[in-house]
Structure 1
Amino acid sequence: RGALGAASGRGPAAVWGELSRGVLRPGVPFAVHRMLYYGCYAGSPSTTPPAWTPDPEEAALTNVGRVLEARGSEIIGEAYKDPVTSFRDFHKFSNENPE
């Protein structure tokens, strides 16, 4: 309960992350997982919200994370914060600059 309270201020992905890592187990029926997942993202503009988002430490270990850690500020400028927060800006940059 305490972890969920702390996560709620960080948005639906944080709440879902806490639920999926700390509360839900394989023995809980899938329908319960699905209900809680869609409940976390109720009102989200996306029809397919993410089921998993890495924390900044995990994201930094991915190939994209390594590029962003090394050159994020150079690539997307002052908008760069960390690999997770800045991924959308990096994706936009990549589409606009395919070379």
Structure 2
Amino acid sequence: MQRKEVLQILSENKKDLTERYGLKKMGIFGSVAKNIATSDSDIDIVVEMAPDILLRAELKQELERILGNKVDLIRYWKRMNHYLKQHIDKEALYV
């Protein structure tokens, strides 16, 4: 999927997803954000939300349903891997 299409779908669903899952922030990073994704690429999504693993699993399934593509969902938090955090900080595009 192209960056513009993913950002549009996420924007259209942001209000509902925020209410249902308590999202504080949501964005994309990785190949889709760089607009170099191939047909085999997953969509890397970063969210700020409560540390609830069941809720995060449900959100991942919902994102895959609305995007029609495999999603790699990362929860952004202060103790996450330093290198991943830097990577996300550098390239994430938020909706």
Q: Does the alignment reach a TM-score above 0.5?
A: no
- Higher relative CO (Cα under 8 Å, sequence separation at least 6) belongs to 2
Kindly name which structure, 1 or 2, has the bigger radius of gyration based on alpha carbons. 1
Q: Which has the higher strand share?
A: 2
TM-score by length of 2: 0.30
